[in-house]
Amino acid sequence: MSQREFMSEPPDSPTSVGWTRVRSARLADAASPFSLESGGVLPVVDVEYETYGRLNRSRSNAILIVHALSGDAHAAGWDRDAGRMGRPWRARRPGWWDAMIGPGKPLDTRRWFFICSNVLGGCYGTTGPASPDPATGAPYGLRFPIVSVGDWVRLQARLIDHLGIRRLHAVIGGSLGGQQALEWALALPDRVANCVVLASAPRLSAQGLAFNAVGRHAILSDPNFRNGDYYGGGPRPTEGLAAARMMAHITYLSEEGMHRKFGRRLKDPGKRTVGFGVEFEVESYLDHQGKSFVERFDANSYLYITRAMDLYDAAQQWGGGDLVAACRRVAARAMIVSFSSDWLYAPDQSRELALALCRTGRPATYVVVPSYHGHDSFLVQVNEVGRLLRGFLAPGGGA
Amino acid sequence: MSQREFMSEPPDSPTSVGWTRVRSARLADAASPFSLESGGVLPVVDVEYETYGRLNRSRSNAILIVHALSGDAHAAGWDRDAGRMGRPWRARRPGWWDAMIGPGKPLDTRRWFFICSNVLGGCYGTTGPASPDPATGAPYGLRFPIVSVGDWVRLQARLIDHLGIRRLHAVIGGSLGGQQALEWALALPDRVANCVVLASAPRLSAQGLAFNAVGRHAILSDPNFRNGDYYGGGPRPTEGLAAARMMAHITYLSEEGMHRKFGRRLKDPGKRTVGFGVEFEVESYLDHQGKSFVERFDANSYLYITRAMDLYDAAQQWGGGDLVAACRRVAARAMIVSFSSDWLYAPDQSRELALALCRTGRPATYVVVPSYHGHDSFLVQVNEVGRLLRGFLAPGGGA
């Protein structure tokens, strides 16, 4: 979620997946519309996805990577289509989990076939609020139906069908992606053999709900939001979206991480503080995060995706409120990884999931990685996460 | 900072201070302007204050109560002038620390004479950005100079002079008020005998700076903010201020407190979630906090006061960055109280102050109160805080 801190690897490196190509599949149409948990129906759904590595003959080596709130299908390598698609930021850096996916990397493309798709309601090529409503030809805006983690997973299953894959070797995701990984194991237990849930939880805490609510408030009250109909030109609700992102960023880091990275250092120590501009380094950092985010993300998608994050509740959905009962559905081997300084999806919440799985007798591994990077650890603690993933995916491997 | 959870006591209760009256004193004028740490000079400063109890003949029983970010001079009792002064919210509830101050209460008005004044830059009667600039007659807006915790304390000292008091028996404050209490002991060591610092720290953490920055960003980017010149009628930057307040409120509670109070309960469990309005109880609570705050607080004051909170650094100011060196200035007996679930001014930060005082051999008491109310504990943990204050103020008393 933060700017990654590891080095980016050039596309010609032997351990990079190299140049990647955006793919798209129409997974719902008039003949097979896509019904949503909220009751809505989408007559057309296109999904953007990427793949890395090769599907083997028995189609048994596929692993689905699921992205978090602001992620996309471009998990690894360098996007060949960045210019053509109007995504200049992709020309500046590789995919969001490039450190993890590639030949010889923990998610080894010499052995596995990886798929990553953009979520429904997003703004990176999959149908969302900016897409044209076939009924009117105009962008959906807030007429787009509410989507859920469960919807995302069912749509990912359609993509897997489309690719001719019956059963995934694994689903792997962090944060909101971890909730999708868990939902795969709960909703489609016969279609996934292994499940990795990083920096996530079976549901968002009250504090997490509160942060999402304030972020949406900032967007909804931006006068340029215009009830979501801002696609026709003119200013967009960039200030509201920037404020939402800045606030969310605080929840992605930890107090210790912020202290180490910025402390109370002034941006310009020679200058006497005179006003309300950027004075401290941490202000400068957040300011940059807000500004760069609005260039690449759509405010409506932010609303839809955070609401899906709010509403996900694995125990409620599958166990009538009882997480252990829900976990009885799981057939996959699971690895649950939390990070000591993560306070958005705190270790206690991951632990609750791991305990519930253990109580049902399912093979589950639970790891707390010591880290001061907060929630972002799943993206930046490359060595630790890599070691865990490598071990878990090794034949007969545990964590 | 949150809506108080204790019962309000009617003005005719024997332990209430009863009806109170707003007072005002002109503490700077052409003959004695008020110079600020930022280099600015205010030619006129009026201070609103209240007092409870009676000053004794030897003028030795005065205790200064200092308020936090959104507080005011109305610490106890019922404001007789609420209607006349256009402050209808004060007709609905007693002063912000009414549970603590009154005849027989922990801050006992039968024995002590309490003074509480509104800070410079505030919006409750003391000169601030909404006050007329004598040079132009128009409200200052952002032409008001940057103010600091040190300025506040020096102005409070002028108020004490005005009341004919040489030395305070104690200064007591929580949060930003705790920083003022500490600053009294550092800046004016011969004028304060006892000092109580609740839920505070010698400086704000990087995370705290970050939250303040995002709150100010929301205000500054509200199109109705108009560079702070919104006093002449027309809409005010209420959405930005509400967003800032909602976010700050999350930092005043703890995750556990939010979980106990709201959990993931829906506001209207019968209704299916369909959009981005208020769905969860915690959203409803924050929405209410934002809406009620903008009726009683000025956005410019929010900017000035949070900036003062950012800039305060006791060690930097008085010890060249060394807190122990700074604490050598202190002559007062000190009690430092933190709350286990406070993550805005976390116990570790209070502990650092207590340790620094102890290293200098100053008589200091440090207490961590177990609490799930987060930062707000200093306002809502009435029994625990009351017991500590009573003990500390008792003749020869410790904590």
Residue-wise pLDDT tens digits, B330-369: 999 999 999 999 999 999 999 999 999 999 998 899 999 9
Helix B206-220 / helix A281-296 crossing angle, nearest 10 deg = 50
Shared-domain flag, residues B253 and B227: yes
* Interface-testing mutation among B260, B264, B311, with chain A (most A C-beta atoms within 10 A): B264
- Cα separation, B282 vs B259, in Å, equals 9
CA distance to partner chain B, nearest, from residue A131 (Å): 18
- Cα separation, A389 vs A171, in Å, equals 12
- Cα separation, B29 vs A305, in Å, equals 56
Shared-domain flag, residues B26 and B144: yes
Establish if B286 touches chain A: CB-CB under 8 angstroms: yes
Shared-domain flag, residues B78 and B172: yes
**Predicted confidence (pLDDT) at residue B4 exceeds the cutoff of 50:** no
Answer whether residue B361 is part of any domain: yes
B18: left (phi over 0), alpha (psi -120 to 50) or beta: left
Shared-domain flag, residues A236 and A322: no
Burial class (CB in 10 A: 0-12, 13-18, 19+), B119: buried
Query: Could you tell me the pLDDT band of residue B269, with boundaries at 50, 70 and 90?
Result: confident
**Predicted confidence (pLDDT) at residue B392 exceeds the cutoff of 70:** yes
Final residue belonging to a domain, choices B299, B325, B342: B299
Shared-domain flag, residues A161 and A275: no
Stated as kind and residue range, the H or E segment containing B292 is helix B281-294
Answer whether residue B216 is part of any domain: no
CA dihedral angle for residue B346, residue B297, residue B259, residue A328, rounded to 10 degrees: -110
Output the pLDDT for position A395.
Answer: 80
Residue-wise pLDDT tens digits, B96-132: 999 999 999 999 999 999 999 999 999 999 999 999 9
Establish if B290 touches chain A: CB-CB under 8 angstroms: yes
Final residue belonging to a domain, choices B268, B299, B330: B299
Q: Which residues of A64-103 are buried (b: 16+ CB within 10 A; e: fewer)?
A: bbbbbbbbbbbbbbbbbbbeeeebeebeeebbbbbbbbbb
Helix B238-252 / helix B206-220 crossing angle, nearest 10 deg = 160
CA distances from B181 to A134, B50, B89, B332 (A): 64, 18, 27, 11
Q: Of the candidates B1, B5, B17, B23, which has an alpha carbon nearest to the alpha carbon of residue B159?
A: B23
Answer whether residue A6 is part of any domain: no
What number is the average pLDDT over the span B60-64? 98
**Which single residue is written with the structure tokens 């402390």?**
A263
Burial class (CB in 10 A: 0-12, 13-18, 19+), B399: middle
For chain B, how many structural domains are there in total? 2
Residue-wise pLDDT tens digits, A190-211: 999 999 999 999 999 999 999 9
Domain, as residue range, for A266: 212-302
Shared-domain flag, residues A282 and A325: no
The rounded percent of chain B whose pLDDT value lies above 90 is 93
Chain A residue numbers touching B142 (CB-CB < 8 A): 275-276
The domain that holds A285 is classified in CATH as 1.10.1740.110
Output the pLDDT for position B397.
Answer: 61
Residue-wise pLDDT tens digits, B217-229: 999 999 999 999 9
Token duo for residue A59: 């189609």
CA distance to partner chain B, nearest, from residue A118 (Å): 21
Residue-wise pLDDT tens digits, A61-87: 999 999 999 999 999 999 999 999 999
Contact A62, A169 (CB under 8 A): yes
Establish if B272 touches chain A: CB-CB under 8 angstroms: yes
Shared-domain flag, residues B233 and B293: yes
Shared-domain flag, residues B152 and B114: yes
Identified catalytic residue from A16, A175, A301, A371: A175
| Cα atoms in the 13 Å half-sphere on the side-chain side of A224 | 17
CA distances from A126 to A44, A175, A245, B69 (A): 11, 20, 21, 45
| Cβ separation B205–A261 shorter than 8 A | no
The rounded mean pLDDT for chain B is 95
| Cβ separation B263–A221 shorter than 8 A | no
Answer whether residue B209 is part of any domain: no
Query: Could you tell me the pLDDT band of residue A378, with boundaries at 50, 70 and 90?
Result: very high
- Cα separation, B87 vs B22, in Å, equals 12
Residue-wise pLDDT tens digits, A114-173: 999 999 999 999 999 999 999 999 999 999 999 999 999 999 999 999 999 999 999 999
Residue B375 a catalytic site member? yes
Token duo for residue A199: 């920096």
Beta bridge partners of B203: B313
CA distance to partner chain A, nearest, from residue B329 (Å): 24
- Cα separation, B169 vs B111, in Å, equals 12
Shared-domain flag, residues A144 and A68: yes
Answer whether residue B399 is part of any domain: no
User: Can you tell me whether residue A19 is helix, strand or coil?
Assistant: strand
| CB neighbours of residue B136 within 10 Å | 9
Give residues with Cβ within 8 angstroms of A38, minimum separation 6.
A145, A146, A147, A148, B272, B273, B274
Intra-chain end-to-end CA distance of chain A, in Å: 25
Identified catalytic residue from B342, B350, B371, B373: B342
- Based on DSSP, count helices (H) and strands (E) in chain B, helices before strands: 12, 14
Output the pLDDT for position A7.
Answer: 60
Contact B107, B169 (CB under 8 A): no
Answer whether residue A2 is part of any domain: no
Final residue belonging to a domain, choices B272, B299, B326: B299
CA distances from B278 to A214, B251, B269, B289 (A): 11, 20, 12, 13
Output the pLDDT for position A399.
Answer: 42
| Cβ separation B264–A146 shorter than 8 A | no
Token duo for residue A268: 């310009």
| Cβ separation A210–B286 shorter than 8 A | yes
Rg of chain B on CA atoms, in Å: 20
Name the pTM for this structure: 0.95
Shared-domain flag, residues A219 and A89: no
Shared-domain flag, residues A136 and A227: no
CA distance to partner chain B, nearest, from residue A113 (Å): 37
| Cβ separation A221–B243 shorter than 8 A | yes
- Cα separation, B366 vs B377, in Å, equals 16
Residue A79 a catalytic site member? no
**Chain A residues 125-164 with a CB less than 8 Å from chain B:** 142, 146
Establish if B228 touches chain A: CB-CB under 8 angstroms: no
Answer whether residue B212 is part of any domain: no
Residue-wise pLDDT tens digits, B135-165: 999 999 999 999 999 999 999 999 999 999 9
Shared-domain flag, residues A262 and A373: no
Output the pLDDT for position A313.
Answer: 97
The rounded percent of chain A whose pLDDT value lies above 70 is 97
* Interface-testing mutation among A37, A236, A247, with chain B (most B C-beta atoms within 10 A): A247
Residue A175 a catalytic site member? yes
The domain that holds B179 is classified in CATH as 3.40.50.1820
Answer whether residue B9 is part of any domain: no
